[in-house]
Amino acid sequence: MAAWPAVPLLINVGGSLLGFVATLTLIPAFKDHFLAARLFGEDLNKASRRPVPEAQGVISGAVFLIILFCFIPVPFLRCFVEEQCAAFPHDEFVELIGALLAICCMIFLGFADDVLNLRWRHKLLLPTMASLPLLMVYFTNFGNTTIVVPKPFRVLLGMHLDLGILYYVYMGMLAVFCTNAINILAGINGIEAGQSLVIAASIIIFNVVELTGDYGDDHIFSLYFMIPFFFTTLGLLFHNWYPSRAFVGDTFCYFAGMTFAVVGILGHFSKTMLLFFIPQVLNFLYSLPQLFHIIPCPRHRLPRLNPSTGKLEMSYSKFKTKSLSAIGTNILKVGKILHILDVRSGTDEDGEYAECNNMTLINFVIKLIGPTHEQNLTLLLLLIQVLGSTIAFSIRYQLVRLFYDV
């Protein structure tokens, strides 16, 4: 790829704008088809429980794939003119096809999850399977598993460290984390598509800044994926915004997460990618006791609507006190002392019980600010996402000097 391939990027932007219009148009056009197929749900945070079509991420995902399928020959246009291309860049072509294969697999598996309502253990397995094409492309094209050791650890480990197969384990886990991190920070209108849009915008800014650096080709590759993703997600967010006329479903969460994993791994900026997931990392850490069932975890952890005020309040998990393990009991005690959990206890016909707020960033924000309107809550969480990206850029371009030679 050329250092500044203006024509491919312009074509990519043009196709992405068409994708935005297509997504805006197709979601309402297919509404009746989804309702007829019983692919709909009720908005639990609304007084009127009207059916809302689910798994609409499959539409934005399909539009995204169509854009990039049509775009496949564009980065290699120079090779159609013999004197401008000494040899066809097969490695770049394989990279592009492998990335599309991984994303395509994840959209298919995500839609299967929406239709079949798979268990959580399957949600961990599916991204792992879908990441295999991605890891094979990395192995055949790059195969480099050596990392630069941060300054504080160089006395023990030296300047460089070859992680071998552990590096591939890390990349596979990155794909699993990205897909599920968006999926567990969900439950209110606009939050899944909104956080993905902010992350995509952050990656695009990072790619543009780095275009003139030593790894410009990698960032151009990332832009080829992120620009269409941004615009198709923008179209989806329009319909998913409060009051939602479409639910994105697990399809979109898987699709978004795998797209981020693809550009992070093949674009060689996976550490920076994780920095853009700061709110998702905090949400994951806060959720761990429930994710590992140390504290009982209900199926839905979204906030609950107070019909009299029209505002969202924290949702709670209620359980018998004696059913908790010693670890669970200590977690509740520490959480209560640190004021990061709202813990209640009492007695009913079944004996002593305890309840605590469901451990999500959404409920934690409600704990801090009190009951709030759903739209305002979404805006606040997206502001937190923007703040996270601002911190990520500060770490990437300032604090990084403490750990690496730049």
pLDDT value of position 2: 44
Query: What are the φ and ψ backbone dihedral angles of 304, each rounded to 5 degrees?
Result: -110, 145
Secondary structure in 3-state letters for the chain: CCCCCHHHHHHHHHHHHHHHHHHHHHHHHCHHHHHHCCCEEECCCCCCCCEEECCCHHHHHHHHHHHHHHHCCHHHHHHHCHHHCCCCCHHHHHHHHHHHHHHHHHHHHHHHHHHHCCCHHHHHHHHHHHCHHHHHHHHHHCCCCEEECCHHHHHHHCCEEECCHHHHHHHHHHHHHHHHHHHHCCCCCCHHHHHHHHHHHHHHHHHHHHCCCCCHHHHHHHHHHHHHHHHHHHHHHHHHCCCCCCCCHHHHHHHHHHHHHHHHHHCCCHHHHHHCCHHHHHHHHHHHHHHCCCCCCCCCCCCEEECCCCEEECCEEEEEHHHCCHHHHHHHHHHHHCCCCCEEEEEECCEEEEEEECCCHHHHHHHHHCCECHHHHHHHHHHHHHHHHHHHHHHHHCHHHHCCCC
Top-confidence range, 113-117, 144-148, 186-190: 186-190
pLDDT tens digits for 334-379?
A: 999 999 999 998 887 778 889 999 999 999 999 999 999 999 999 9
Query: What are the φ and ψ backbone dihedral angles of 241, each rounded to 5 degrees?
Result: -70, 155
Tokens linked to 162: 């070859």
pLDDT value of position 3: 46
pLDDT tens digits for 301-319?
A: 999 999 999 999 999 998 8
pLDDT value of position 231: 98
Residue of 10 and 77 predicted with greater confidence = 10
**pLDDT exceeds 60 at position 18:** yes
Distance CA(276)–CA(263), nearest Å, equals 13
Least reliable range by pLDDT among 1-5, 65-69, 220-224, 312-316: 1-5
pLDDT value of position 177: 92
pLDDT tens digits for 21-78?
A: 999 999 999 999 999 999 999 888 888 888 999 999 999 999 999 999 999 999 988 7
